[in-house]
């Protein structure tokens, strides 16, 4: 049975939808800018759902771990190195000899890697997702990916310390240990567990070939890794700042699909982050432009009829009402 949200471990094609992100602003300038943007399609897997799954919601926030082809070349900063990634089978090459992650069915593209510091929180509209059409990473391989991520997270403050740059204490980074593969972990249980086969992926076969998820099953936060737990930390920040969860309008609204086999080639996922920053700038410019226009309208309507004190009070009230988000109290 299909689900209305993607499930953790599913690979997706991901494409930013900039027009949908600005339509609610009622701003012709912003809409025109969004229409001029050229969005491209990328691949990543769903690390976790960041919303409790409910069919009445128009979309759900998901944490995405992006896939790239070849070792990363556009690095976040000087404290990210090219080996901060994990190969995806059939690719077996890595500077640190890291074991490849194995998707089921096997990944279709050569020379692919999960990039450690290219991640994003996105809004995925509700639609039908058939688990049997998906390329999966099992709970075991998602957990192994997180273990290697924790080592890359540890190396960043070490590199900063070596170069005399302030940063977190490397000792504060908790390194993951390998988890038992005999049965699913509490955070990543997506189906019946079996003993590992020779390549350690029997649970993948169970998911890919026998998956049958009802809507009630898809809504279980325990069964489908809704949010990271204290022992299952979130993925690293992807663009040099915190994910903008406090401002839902600027969380990327995307179009997704399960048919990654239709992709002709893999694009550099850092370009998705570039697209995201471009539409965020459009949204912020629209907010600033609309707030200023409203203040001017208030001034024109009242300057000949009220005292300066009344005008000041009305301007303040108008600005407050027109802000896209009220101030926190």
Report the distance separating Cα 78 and Cα 118, nearest Å: 15
User: Which residues have C-beta within 8 Å of that of residue 184, sequence separation ≥ 6?
Assistant: 139, 190, 191, 193, 203
Residue 237: per-residue pLDDT: 43
Residue 280: both structure tokens together: 């965020």
Predicted local distance difference test score (pLDDT) of residue 322: 45
pTM of this structure:
0.71
- pLDDT given for residue 157 in this prediction: 84
Contact between 190 and 220 under an 8 Å Cβ cutoff? The reply is no
30 vs 36: CA distance, rounded Å: 10
Cβ-based neighbours of 254, under 8 Å, separated by 6 or more: 14, 15, 16, 17, 122, 123, 124
* 3-state class (DSSP) for residue 16: strand
Mean pLDDT, consecutive 10-residue segments, the chain of 329 residues?
Answer: 92 97 95 97 95 91 97 88 96 97 94 96 95 92 92 89 81 63 35 37 35 33 38 42 65 96 93 97 93 61 51 44 45
* pLDDT (0 to 100) of residue 293: 62
Structure-derived torsion over alpha carbons of residues 102, 104, 110, 113, reported in degrees to the nearest 10: -50
Instruction: Give the C-alpha separation, 243 to 122, whole Å.
Output: 10
- Rounded to whole angstroms, the Cα distance separating 113 from 118 reads 11
Q: What is the pLDDT of residue 161?
A: 85
Instruction: With beta carbons less than 8 A apart as the criterion, state whether 66 and 115 touch.
Output: yes
Round to whole Å and give the CA distance between 114 and 24: 34
- The pLDDT of residue 303 is 56
102: closest CA among 70, 133, 145, 47? 145
**Run of H or E including 128:** none
DSSP string, 53-106: --TTSSEEEEEEEEEEESS--S-SSTT--TT-EEEETT----TT-PPPB-EESP
227 touches 221 (CB < 8 A): yes
Rounded Cα distance between 8 and 241, Å, is 24
Retrieve residue 132's tokens. 């049997």
- Looking at residue 266, the DSSP 8-state letter turns out to be -
């Amino acid at each position: 049975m299909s689900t209305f949200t993607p499930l953790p471990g599913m690979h997706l094609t991901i494409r930013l939808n900039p027009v949908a992100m600005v339509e609610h602003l009622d701003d012709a300038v912003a809409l025109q800018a969004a229409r001029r943007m050229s969005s491209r399609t990328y691949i990543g897997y769903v690390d976790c759902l960041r919303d409790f799954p409910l069919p009445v919601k128009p979309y759900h926030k998901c944490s995405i771990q992006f896939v790239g082809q070849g070792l990363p070349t556009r690095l976040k900063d000087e404290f990210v190195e090219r080996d901060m990634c994990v190969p995806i089978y059939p690719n077996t090459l890595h500077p640190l000899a890291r074991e490849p992650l194995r998707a089921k069915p096997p990944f279709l593209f050569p020379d692919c890697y999960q990039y450690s510091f290219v991640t994003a929180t996105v809004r995925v509209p509700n639609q039908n997702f058939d688990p049997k059409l998906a390329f999966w990473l099992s709970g075991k391989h998602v957990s192994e990916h997180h273990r290697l991520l924790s080592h890359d997270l540890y190396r960043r403050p070490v590199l900063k310390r070596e170069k005399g740059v302030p940063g977190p204490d490397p000792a504060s980074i908790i390194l993951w240990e390998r988890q038992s593969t005999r049965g699913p972990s509490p955070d990543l249980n997506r189906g019946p567990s079996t003993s590992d086969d020779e390549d350690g992926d029997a649970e993948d076969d169970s998911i890919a070939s026998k998956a049958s998820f009802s809507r009630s099953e898809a809504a279980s936060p325990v069964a489908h890794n809704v949010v990271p737990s204290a022992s299952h930390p979130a993925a690293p920040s992807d663009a040099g700042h915190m994910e903008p969860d406090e401002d839902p309008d600027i969380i990327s609204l995307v179009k997704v699909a399960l048919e990654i086999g239709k992709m002709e080639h893999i694009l550099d996922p850092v370009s998705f982050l570039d697209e995201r920053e471009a539409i965020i700038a459009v949204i912020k410019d629209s907010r600033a432009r609309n707030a200023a226009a409203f203040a001017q309208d208030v001034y024109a309507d009242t300057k000949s009829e009220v005292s300066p004190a009344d005008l000041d009070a009305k301007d303040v009230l108008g600005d407050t009402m027109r802000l896209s988000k009220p101030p926190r109290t």
